[in-house]
Structure 1
Amino acid sequence: MAGRAEGALKADALADWAFSGEFSGPVGVGLGVDRSLCNPSVVQRRVRGKAGQLSTSALAQELGEDWFKLGEKQGPGGPSFRQMMPYFARRRRDGGYDHPARSSRAQTPAASEINLAHLFGLDAEIVRRLHVAKAALKQNDAARKVLRDLDKAASGTTRADLEAQLSARIAAASLASDTLREKIETFNVLPAFRELERELSSLHQEARDLSDADVLDQEVIELNLRALGAEQPLAPTNLESLFGEANVVFPDLVARRYDEVAQFHARLVENRREHLTSEIEAARRRIQIRAALRESVEARRRSITASLRVSGPAEELLALRDELSAREAEVRNLEGRLAEARSLDERGEALERDIDEAIRALRADRRERSSIVDDASKTFSSISQRLYERPGELAISATDAGLKFLPSTPSDNSAGVMSMEIFCFDWTIATLCARRGMGPGFLIHDSHLFEPVDGRQFGKALALGARLAQETGVQYIVTLNSDELQRAEIESGEALASYVVEPRLSDEPDGGLFGIRFD
């Protein structure tokens, strides 16, 4: 309903087709959905006789609220319609039949646990907080490793060792800088050269100030240019439409005011554009003035440098100053890395506390909702017992790693055991949701689920699914080839033909799902 066209739906022969679905929903509210392949991002929705158009993402949000009781505000990574719906309609191509607790191959363990917690009636927010903190801690640890790798000597060290090594290097570099600074202060040169050296230092600072001012003015220019581009007159069609609507109620007043409003808005936009243009021109003039000043400063700096290099001692002084600048830059770099290391350490410690708190809350929630967990386990055991004559087990465990759902059936060593675990697990979810008045109201399986299952077990599963559908009110849809149905009936002794619904699809030229043949 809200996914993208795949497989046969991409065929050119179906490009102009539209598809419709009618859903009763968990609370009996009728919903109709129409979606065309030529415009798949938009759907037509029909509810209680009223039709409307909305995007597929809006439809997913609406169905999440109606079918799965999701609130409007969900934290990042929280339960969602798109993550929960595949538990009611798995697809083999997406890996939906690989594991009971995962609805697709792309679903992360965290997403599986969060959405299953909601479906089973547990606190999904606690599970979400735990996995968000774990993911953030993993990123934080990766950043710390990058920081350690900047220094080969620190690679593989603990975070405390890294801080100690950076502090030691800062102390050594600072000492080297202080030593050079003392040498420069006591360096013996002629008074005239000393005065030139001071002037050169002052010119260096002046050049930096000019560059900083240029950067600020350039930001002013870019900001005002963006604002200037955003200043557009009100579109005449919009204004005419607005006044056209108002004209129905206030015809005389609207007729007099239309021209006045249009002229006022035009003047407002014009004044705003003039102000922005003047700000841009002023900033450009300041940059031009500074360019001339910078040229003068650079000329004086070159002249002083040339004069100082005439004297051997002055040349040595300049070399000391260059070395001091390099040392000071090293100290600043190390201090920045130390500050980042400490920040990452503090964040890591805070995240570890968040994880510990979330684990405690998860275990407490598991204990407080033990009746819900017990009901889920009993439901799974009941379904598996009706299938195998011996009950299986569904363990729901709150661990340091997260909330684990561990289903097992009595015949763990038989072929197709994974398929039957998925069958029991899906029916457990559908049953629990039906009891709480949520879910889509249907469960879909196809022949891929039953391929590895022997015919006797296959037939028993289909018959059990039919009985569960009658007991829970959940519609059970299974897509099979006729020869597979015959295999299930013959080997299990179950009478299943009466459950087949029209239309029966055939291999005739006008048969098939779409009634036409195409490549």
Structure 2
Amino acid sequence: MRLSANRDEFQPVDFKPGFNAIIADRAQGSTDQDSRNARGKSTMLMLINYVLAGNLHPSLRPLADDGWEVTLTLEMFGGTVAATRGLAAGRKLTLLADGTARDVISPYLTEGKIALHDWKDLLGLALFRLEPDAQEVAGGISVRTLLSYVIRSETPKDPLKVIAQQGATSSRQHVAFLLGLDWQVVRELAAVKKGLDQIKAIAAATQEGLVATLRPEEELVMERAAVSNEVEHWQQRVAGFRVLEDPNSLVARADEITAQISRLRDQALVDRRMRELYVGSLVDTESSAASALPIEAIFDAAGAVLADGFKRQIGDVRAFHATLIANRRLFIRTEIDTLDRRIAERSVELTRLDSQRDSTLRTLDAGGALDELNAMREELSEAQGRLAALDLQIEQARELLARREELKLEQSTRRNDATRELAGSRTKLDRISARFSNKMSRLYGKDAALTVSVDDGGYRFSIRATGAGSTGVDRMVLFCFDLTMLEEGTVTEHHPDFLVHDSSVFDGVDPRQRAGALRFAQEMVEVSGGQYICTINSNDIPDEVLQEDWFKDGIIRTILDTETGGLVGRDF
């Protein structure tokens, strides 16, 4: 690997196989104002990342304005490829290749240039055996994210992530790919889980009444029954409605009939009361005649003797009285018969008038002006609209329930499939975990493990290490994880044969562990044939390591704190 630029002030950096170190050192005669920081170590990683299809870091904008172009030469497809990308216009790169690499790359070139998205496809194939289709899947595997596990410019606490803000699904997918597992399992189960979480959120909002159009099914069904009855009511009203030419005359007629009925009922009341009086008077007349005591008996009881003339007068009076009573009875009976006849006739008339009024009122109730019919039709239309809306809401509620059950079934099925695949990969995963554990044990003498399980989000990766939580231990957990991925990559081919660490990886690490980590990296790449690159300040390198030949041989560039512009060769 070689990094160069189109400017003379930039001294090319040639990386060799095995261990490589770029050191910021203190020059003889440097002052307290000189520093080994800001010497361009991180800038070098930015430039490498940029040529490898990354975004331009804002701090490099001054170089872009000056027309800088950066070239990264690396081995790909069995040959050597030199990729040049301008910092100002980076949508296309210039590629030069030899050997078999030229045959692979040529179809992608137009006048020696390649589009950025095609360059990503080639990087994925060459470095990770990542098929281009996998990069085209929305939310799928990204070659840039994979490269962030290889070129560590960030040092998150969780080594399974490339930055602290990386989403769980993205982290799981890319780690699964690096470990040779089916990353699609994570993507598919994450999509199912997202769907279930959305349904759960909708259901909670529905219960709280936060979504007016979504309510519990039982509540909707009850309301629909009431609205359906309302629709039926208005349908019947509209169907039986008659448009009346002069509804006001019917109202007047109904009022006139009502007045007649009222008068007749008043008259009927008077006649009934008169009849009651006549019947009472007739009864009194009959009872008084039956109970009258003859006057002769009264005088006889008193011992008086009545003259014959007086007796004849009494007889005449009695005969007159009897005639008078008989005439009164006849009169009363005649009046009663007359009242009965009038009452009967009036009852017939009241029945007729009641029927006539009812008919008129029914006509008025069932009919009216055209405006009234239109108003009823509007009421019917509004009720039918509410009924249709309720039907749609009920359908949505049922679809939501059905979708939840479908997702739960799909989740269970996919989890079972993932569990079976994981069981078939246990030998490989146990080997990887053992390698990681051995590295941590060698550095710290502490236990550590990399475990894989299956949950609702797909493959769940977990790293446990004794003493984790301190900055130094966390950084070495990341270091050992990255070395394990590099070592495993030689088997799975899902990892390039190089690993790059920024100096921040060693921040806060005890000098003894820092020395052990550097030796460990050198030994591993020497055996595996890979390439390890690190940037580090000289004061962070343990003295015993500085004196060892393998480290001296691995120093490919020393940047002094007094050099103008550091590694880049200019201040910006």
TM-score, scaled relative to structure 2 = 0.63
2:237 paired residue among 183, 193, 206: 183
SS of structure 2 residue aligned to 1:517: coil
Counterpart of 1:126 (choices 175, 179, 185) is 185
Q: Does 1:77 align with 2:131?
A: no
1: CA distance between counterparts of 2:476 and 2:217? Answer: 54
**Greater CA radius of gyration, 1 or 2?**
2
CA distance in 1, matches of 2:200, 2:66: 49
Cα distance in 2, alignment partners of residues 106 and 347 from structure 1: 31
Q: Does 1:502 align with 2:553?
A: no
Which residues of 2 match residues 187-206 of structure 1 at below 5 A?
Answer: 187-190=241-244
AA partner of residue 184 (structure 1)? V
Deviations 1:90-117 (A, max 9, x none): 222xxx4231111123421111111111
Structure 2 residue identity aligned to 1:80: S
Any conservation in 1 of the 2:185–2:458 contact (CA below 8 Å)?
Answer: no
Aligned partner of 1:482 in structure 2 is: 538
The within-5 A match list for 1:2-401 is: 2-11=53-62, 15-25=66-76, 28-48=78-98, 50=102, 52-74=112-134, 75-92=137-154, 96-143=155-202, 162-190=216-244, 313-401=369-457
- Deviations 1:88-147 (CA, angstroms, capped at 9, x unpaired): 11222xxx4231111123421111111111111222222222112212333344455566
Can you list the C-alpha shifts for 1:132-180, whole angstroms capped at 9, x where unaligned? Answer: 221233334445556666677998x7xxxx1222222222111111111
Structure 1 residues 378 and 28: CA distance shift in structure 2, 3 A: farther
Aligned equivalents of 2:397 and 2:177: distance in 1? Answer: 38
Cα distance in 2, alignment partners of residues 507 and 14 from structure 1:
26
Aligned to 2:11: none
The residue type equivalent to 1:489 in the other structure is D
Deviation at 1:187, TM superposition (A): 2.7
Q: Is the 8 A contact 1:100 1:425 kept in 2?
A: yes
Paired-residue identity, %: 27
1:410-421 mapped onto 2 (5 Å cutoff):
410-412=466-468, 414-421=470-477
AA aligned opposite 2:185: I
Aligned pair in 2 of structure 1 residues 143, 151: CA closer, same or farther (>3 Å)?
Answer: closer
CA deviations on 1:16-56 (whole Å, 9 max, x unpaired) are: 0010111124x643222111112112112233264732122
Instruction: Answer yes or no: is the 8 Å Cα contact 2:243–2:369 preserved in 1.
Output: yes
Shift of 1:86: 0.9
CA distance in 2, matches of 1:475, 1:512: 24
Contact 1:384-1:392 within 8 A present in 2 as well: yes
Instruction: Note the C-alpha offset of 1:59.
Output: 1.2
Q: Structure 1: how far apart are the matches of 2:371 and 2:213?
A: 37
Secondary structure of 2:500's aligned partner: strand
Partner amino acid for 1:54?
Answer: I
The equivalent residue for 1:426 is: 482
Question: Whole-Å Cα distance in 2 between the matches of residues 28 and 153 of structure 1?
Answer: 63
| Post-superposition offset of 1:189 | 3.3
**Separation in structure 1 between the aligned mates of residue 467 and residue 210 of structure 2, nearest angstrom:** 56
Amino acid at match of 1:423: F
The alignment partner of 2:477 has SS state of helix
Cα distance 1:459–1:16, how it changes in 2: closer, same or farther (>3 A)?
Answer: same
The alpha carbon displacement at 1:438 in A equals: 4.0
Task: Assess, with a 3 A threshold, how the Cα gap between structure 1 residues 144 and 400 changes in structure 2: closer, same or farther.
Answer: closer
Quickly say closer, same or farther: Cα 1:102–1:337, change in 2 above 3 A.
same
Residue identity opposite 2:169 in structure 1:
A
Separation in structure 2 between the aligned mates of residue 37 and residue 413 of structure 1, nearest angstrom:
39
Distance 2:468 2:400 in 1: 46
Structure 1: gaps spanning 5 or more residues: 194-310
| Separation in 2, partners of 1:15, 1:4 | 18
Q: 1:68 to 1:345 in 2, by over 3 A?
A: same
Q: Name stretches of at least 5 consecutive residues in structure 2 with no aligned partner.
A: 1-51, 107-111, 248-366
In 1, the alpha carbon distance for the partners of 2:436 and 2:526 equals 17
What is the CA–CA distance in structure 2 between the aligned matches of 1:440 and 1:409, rounded to whole Å? 26
- Shift of residue 492 of structure 1? 10
Shift of 1:60: 1.3
Aligned residues of 1:447 and 1:480 also touching (Cα < 8 A): yes
State how far apart, in whole Å, the 2-side matches of 1:494 and 1:125 are: 46
Q: Which residue of 2 aligns with 1:198?
A: none
Question: 406-415 or 475-484: which moved more?
Answer: 406-415
Which has the bigger relative contact order, CA under 8 A and spacing at least 6? 2
In the alignment, residue 87 of structure 1 is paired with which amino acid? Answer: Y
CA distance in 2, matches of 1:415, 1:146: 42
* Counterparts of 2:552 and 2:224, CA distance in 1: 83
Q: Secondary structure at the match of 1:59?
A: helix
Asked whether the 8 Å contact 1:24–1:441 carries over to 2, the reply is no
Deviations 1:210-237 (A, max 9, x none): xxxxxxxxxxxxxxxxxxxxxxxxxxxx
Q: Contact 1:90 / 1:104 at 8 angstroms: preserved in 2?
A: no
The structural deviation recorded for 1:70 is 1.9
**TM-score computed with the length of structure 1 as normaliser:** 0.69
Q: Secondary structure at the match of 2:79?
A: coil
Instruction: Name whichever of 170-179 and 508-517 sits farther off.
Output: 508-517
Change (3 A) 1:499 1:421: farther
Name which of structure 1's ranges 62-71 and 417-426 shifts more when overlaid on structure 2.
Answer: 62-71
**Distance in 1, Cα, partners of 2:502 & 2:59:** 17
Q: Residue 444 of structure 1: CA displacement?
A: 0.9
CA distance, structure 2, for counterparts of residue 12 and residue 382 of structure 1: 44
Query: Cα gap change, 1:492/1:178 in structure 2, threshold over 3 Å: closer, same or farther?
Result: farther
CA contact (8 A) 2:64 2:88 kept: no
SS at match of 2:191: helix
Q: Give the RMSD, CA atoms, in angstroms.
A: 2.8
Distance 1:399 1:139, change over 3 A: closer
Distance verdict in 2 for CA 1:481–1:139, change over 3 Å: same
Would the alpha carbon gap of residues 375 and 12 (structure 1) be closer, same or farther in structure 2, given more than 3 Å must change? closer
The answer as to whether partners of 1:394 and 1:406 remain within 8 angstroms in 2 is yes
The answer to which structure has the higher strand fraction is: 2
Give me the whole-angstrom Cα distance separating, in 2, the residues matched to 1:474 and 1:117: 22
- In structure 2, relative to structure 1, the CA distance for the partners of 1:341 and 1:425 (3 Å cut) is same
Give per-residue Cα distances to partners, 1:241-283, cap 9 Å, x unaligned.
Answer: xxxxxxxxxxxxxxxxxxxxxxxxxxxxxxxxxxxxxxxxxxx
- Does the 8 A contact of 1:144 with 1:341 survive in 2? no
